[in-house]
Amino acid sequence: MFRLIQRLKPPQLRKRHILNPYVHTRLASNMSVDASTIVTNDSVITSNPPGKVNAVVVLLGWLGATHRPLGKYAEMYQKRGCVTIATTAPAGSVMFPGTSAVRELASSVLNEAASSINRVETMADNTKVPLIVHAFSNGGAFVVETIENLIQENSQDVERTVSNPGTVIEKDTKLQENTQLAADRIRLGGQVFDSAPAMMHLQAGVTAIGHAIPGSAILRVGVQAVFGIVAALGVVYARATGAPGRGVVFWDHMQQSNLGCKQYYIYSVDDELTDAKYLDELIAYRKEKGVEITAIRLESSPHVQHLKSHPEVYNQFVDNILEEAGMHASSN
């Protein structure tokens, strides 16, 4: 039996980021739960008899994704003995970066992931459970970027307190603990990028908005126009100040990311939003840096539709990820 429970939200979270543990994915889909609500299904822990939990999986949706399409991926992992945590960044924060919404969501995801990890490791037959972060398109990759920034900030804070015991850092202690736990467990699991990351440029952004707002033509064109103006102003500002633009900062982060975990990529040559050429270069660069990577390069498959277009390939892809995560966990 599944229950819909709404936890009291931490003070820094907005109402739309209410955490909902123990929610059946289909229930969330049918109830039209807001896409940025964090929906967790940990029924595998309390299955009868209790089964071994293979991983905690965070699913970060693409621009415009709802819990209905994300639910297909959640169920795929649940059938393989995983706890799933699904959410999508608010559309405005993806189209117009710079707001606090993505950071708030990333903090909530870290807290929820740590809560699930603790519950699994307490109740199930696990010493350490892998954490897998599965991101779709740049909507998911932006949240990954922010999660990594939070982990890096937390690591720097720890180093400061170790080197200077008298240092007082006013931060959420619980979030710090949860961030450290997630950072440790993601090294056992890894990061999965589906149709991501995509090199940021104006045409790709406009096209992505078109996919995310398929209904009203007036609304779609209006949002695309505003996006174009904001993007153009950002370019002008970057040139005037010499500061790197948002796209440069994002891509540099994707190149230099250093969480010490394996990365998995699945993408296609004919994706109209994610240019395979840039992903080829990114993967080659990361491999040269010593990052362990598995990449599946499909010849033909629409953006974030690889599971639908190539179900056998995708399911085998996920099986391999979980198998490797299990080996990492058993050796630690």
pLDDT at 52: 79
Asked if the model's pLDDT at residue 18 lies above 60, the reply is no
Per-residue pLDDT, 172? 66
* CA of residue 1 relative to chain centroid, distance: 28
Phi/psi region, residue 121 (left: phi>0; alpha: psi -120 to 50; beta: rest), is alpha
Of 128-142, 222-236, 294-308, give the lowest mean pLDDT range.
222-236
Q: What is the mean pLDDT of residues 8-25?
A: 37
- Residue % of the chain over a pLDDT of 70: 69
Q: What is the DSSP string of 194-252?
A: ES------HHHHHHHHHHH--S-HHHHHHHHHHHHHHHHHHHHHHHHH-PPPHHHHHHH
pLDDT, one tens digit per residue, over 230-280 is 665 566 656 777 677 777 889 999 999 988 899 999 999 999 889 999 999
Residue-level pLDDT at 70: 92
The secondary structure element, H or E, covering residue 181 is: helix 173-186
Please give the average per-residue pLDDT across 168-197, as a whole number.
Answer: 88
pLDDT at 194 over 50: yes
If one counts every other C-beta atom within 10 angstroms of the C-beta of residue 34, the result is: 17
Beta strands in 103-172 (DSSP E): 131-136
**pLDDT tens, 196-230?**
998 866 566 556 666 666 666 666 666 556 556 66
Q: How many CA atoms lie within 13 A of 128 on its CB side?
A: 20
Separation CA 199–CA 269 (nearest Å): 14
Q: What is the pTM of this model?
A: 0.82
Looking at residue 189, what is its pLDDT?
96
Q: What is the chain's length?
A: 332
Q: Which long-range contacts (CB under 8 A, 24 or more apart) does 1-9 make?
A: 2/27, 2/43, 4/31
CA–CA gap between residue 26 and residue 37 (Å, rounded): 14
Residues 5 and 21 sit within 8 Å (Cβ to Cβ)? yes
Domains of the chain: 15-199+258-330 (3.40.50.1820)
Rounded to the nearest integer, the mean pLDDT of the chain is 80
Average pLDDT over residues 7-13: 36
Does 29 score more than 80 pLDDT?
Answer: no
Per the structure block, which two tokens stand in for 253? 């982060």
What does the pLDDT average to over 154-174? 63
Q: Is the peptide bond before 49 cis (omega within 30 degrees of 0)?
A: yes
pLDDT band at 173; cut points 50, 70, 90: confident
What pLDDT was estimated at residue 169? 54
Q: The tokens 């189209």 sit on which residue?
A: 95
